[in-house]
Chains A and B, each alone.
Chain A
Amino acid sequence: MKQLLFALEDLWKRKWLSLLLLIQCILLLCIANFVTDNIKDLSNMKQEVERVTKSEPIYYFHDLTTEKQLDRTLNQSAHLEEYKKIYKEIYEKQDSQAFSLYSTSYPFDLRYFKENVKDLIVEGHQVYIDVLTFANQSFYDYAQLKMAEGRYFQKEDLSPSKQPTSVVIGADLSVSLQVGSEFTSDEERFRVIGILEKNMSYMNLAASKDFIQLDRMILLPTPVLEDNTDYYSIISSSFIPTSNEQDLRDLMEVIQQQGHISFIYSDLSKQVPYVLEDKRKWIQMQLMLTILISAFTLISITVSYLQFIRKYMFDLGVHILIGATKNQVIVRLCSQLMILFVIANSIVIFIIHKFQLSFIVTVISCLILWIIPIIRIRKMKIDEMLRRKS
């Protein structure tokens, strides 16, 4: 305990040097978190790909719509009926399992989300929250969702006429709403039937290839369709799990008949190896860079730490002279670094909310950084220490 107090005193006496060391420690922890996030991403992606390739084929659309075609369709109302027809062919056929990773930011009445205000975009009396539509059972299976409370959508929830509309919310929104809570968007009413577990996400393997977090999103089983609904975006982000390729051929015929948008369909499982390879290369490059930066940061901390210790060598010699053991002095030195890492850890955890990894990195970093000072103190003679008056 005494050595810990001495360590605190040492850090306080050399504030600027301590601050420099602290910044370096924070940097090291942030880089380590970044590295493991990348490795985790790659691992999650591999799992995602394995799962997709093992399950029933999931088809998605390649958008081949030309600019010329798009120009003609700018005024969507003229072709609304055609789009609705394609939409129905995809989503309203019997036993349709299609889902869309179509999300949009939707305004809800602010008074129901006061606890989440700091995390969301507020405009006047409304708060904008990302809503994922078509979050049906197929989507649930695709994203391998898990419920923390309540239930997921069932058949009765899928009817567009059901009031209030059933929704499932992400874990972070549960500070404002519970299962059974109702909220509104203007005159529309919604009721929470379930809350997802924390850290639920999905990856759009066909497009962005990034994991989209669901913690602050609202899931709707079906969209509230209106005349100004972006049918084109919904169709182009559709996923169709089916073993019956004839269904797809029928759908393509309907699309070709209207001539304003062009798609081909593709089996996701055949695309994902390329997607995975792309992602792997990108992550490997990032990893290499961050490992280099980590190594440099570790060396930099070591140098700064040794300079820090050098300023105390005389004081440590005096302590040994009057009765401290070398082990006590080593504990004092190790405590200095440990205190800095504890503070750095607290700051990093506050920013990125990941305790376990930061703690592990702290332990490993301390063990590495302690080696040189411990060896030096063990080998150094007391009179050598006493000669080092700063």
Chain B
Amino acid sequence: MKKLIEVQHLSKVYPIASNEKVHALKDVNFTISEGDLIAIVGTSGSGKSTLLRILGCIDTQSTGQYLFKGLNIEGKTDKELANIRNQSIGFVMQDFSLIEDYSVKKNVLLPLTYEKNKVKRNKRKKNLNTLLEKLNMSNQENQNVTSLSGGQKQRVAIARALINQPAILLADEPTGALDQATSKEIMSILHSLHAEGKTIIIVTHDLQIAEQCQRIFQIEDGHLHEVCEL
């Protein structure tokens, strides 16, 4: 399979005081291919969210190399990174990260605001109904997201993450704020997306969720190692 992400000797250091530093990530190495379903597990403060931020082009590494679709992310401008986030990466966050004053439709279509290609934009707008139907949200299209349940909100977040047909979905504790039944529902959606060929990385502290994934990476004190590959 084609390599989507390559990380080599990646480290991230945060200065916290004049002479003190935190080594959030230490010499991380891994490769992710298209179609992978990856879980990154670790305790709180282990560095998994830091890694997800770097993979999602929200943050940059201190040292090492990060190649995304063969492109070296180092040295990319803010504009280029924003474009990568818009076109190639879909985010699903624990707190859903939806704009509360907007409707379901407006939240899902929000990434298209930053799509420069008008033709692509219009084409993807037309796919809205298909997407909402797939996620069982067609009836709530014009509803304000504040009136939705947690599970419904996460489905809207997934729809928003998919609207630009990104190469990869990054999910940071996607079931963290949901009950067991709803968590199963969301995981089922992610699995079906994976079955369609979507590459998905899930950051989680829940081993049960991790065990549902093809590959599991464990991150501990900034060091990452692969636990097993199914």
Write the residues of chain A forming the contact surface with B, with a CB cutoff of 8 angstroms: 2, 13, 315, 317-328, 381-383, 386, 389
A81 to nearest B CB, angstroms?
85
Residues in chain A near residue B22, CB distance under 8 A: none
Residue in B95, B110, B160 whose beta carbon sits within 8 Å of that of A389 in the complex = B95
- Chain B's closest residue to A389 (CB) is B95
Q: State whether the Cβ of B83 lies closer than 8 Å to any Cβ in chain A.
A: yes
- Given contacts A315-B99, A322-B110, whether A386 and B79 have CB atoms under 8 Å apart is no
On chain A, the residues within 8 Å of B13 by CB distance are none
Q: Are A325 and B82 in contact (CB under 8 A)?
A: yes
Please measure, in the bound complex, the distance between the C-alpha atom of A326 and the C-alpha atom of B78, giving whole angstroms.
Answer: 7
Hey, which chain B residues are within 8 Å of A323, CB to CB? 82-83, 85-87, 111, 113-115
15 contacts between A and B (CB under 8 A): A2-B113, A13-B101, A315-B99, A318-B99, A318-B110, A321-B91, A321-B93, A322-B91, A323-B111, A323-B113, A323-B115, A325-B82, A383-B49, A386-B95, A389-B95
Contact among B79, B82, B87, B98 for A318, CB-based, below 8 A: B98
Cβ contact within 8 Å between B58 and A321:
yes
Question: Counting CB contacts under 8 A, is B191 at the interface?
Answer: no
Nearest Cβ in chain B — how far from A70, in angstroms? Answer: 74
Interface contact B95-A383, CB-CB below 8 Å: no
Interface string of B55-98 (1 = CB under 8 A from A): 00011000000000000000000110011011100010101011
CA distance A13 to B98 in the complex (A): 16
Is B49 a contact of A322 with CB atoms below 8 Å?
no
Instruction: List the A side residues contacting B91 at CB < 8 Å.
Output: 321-322
Known A-B contacts A386-B93, A386-B97, A389-B95; the reply to A324 vs B53 at CB < 8 A is no
Count class of interface residues, chain B? 20 to 34
Q: What is the count of residue pairs linking A and B with beta-carbon distances less than 8 angstroms?
A: 56
- Fill in one digit per residue for B100-115: 1 if any A CB lies within 8 Å of its CB, else 0: 0100000000110111
Dominant SS among interface residues on chain B: helix
Instruction: Choose from B58, B86, B111, B115 the contact partner of A382 (Cβ within 8 Å).
Output: B58
- Determine the chain B residues whose CB is within 8 A of the CB of A325 once the complex forms: 78-79, 82
Q: How far is the CA of A274 from the CA of B80 in the complex (A)?
A: 68
A-chain residues with CB within 8 Å of residue B110 when the two chains form the complex = 318-319, 322
Q: Which residues of B contact A327 (CB under 8 A)?
A: 78-79
The reply to whether B114 and A324 contact each other, CB–CB distance below 8 Å, is: yes
Are B97's CB and A381's CB within 8 A?
A: no
Is A322 a contact of B78 with CB atoms below 8 Å? no
A322-B101 contact, Cβ under 8 Å, with A382-B58, A383-B53, A389-B95 = no
A13: chain B residues at CB < 8 Å are 101
Docked complex Cα distance between A322 and B58 (Å): 10
In the complex the two chains form, is B85's CB within 8 Å of A321's CB? Answer: yes
Considering the chains assembled together, what is the distance between the CA atoms of A321 and B161 in angstroms? 10
A328 to B49, CA, bound (A): 25
A323, B78: Cα distance in complex, Å: 10
**Which of A2, A322, A328, A383 lies at the interface centre, i.e. has the most chain B CB atoms within 10 A of its CB?**
A322
Q: A323–B114 Cα gap in the complex (Å)? A: 6
Q: Bound complex: CA of A149 vs CA of B111, how far in Å?
A: 62
Given A381-B59, A383-B49, A386-B93, decide whether A324 and B82 contact each other with a Cβ distance below 8 A.
yes
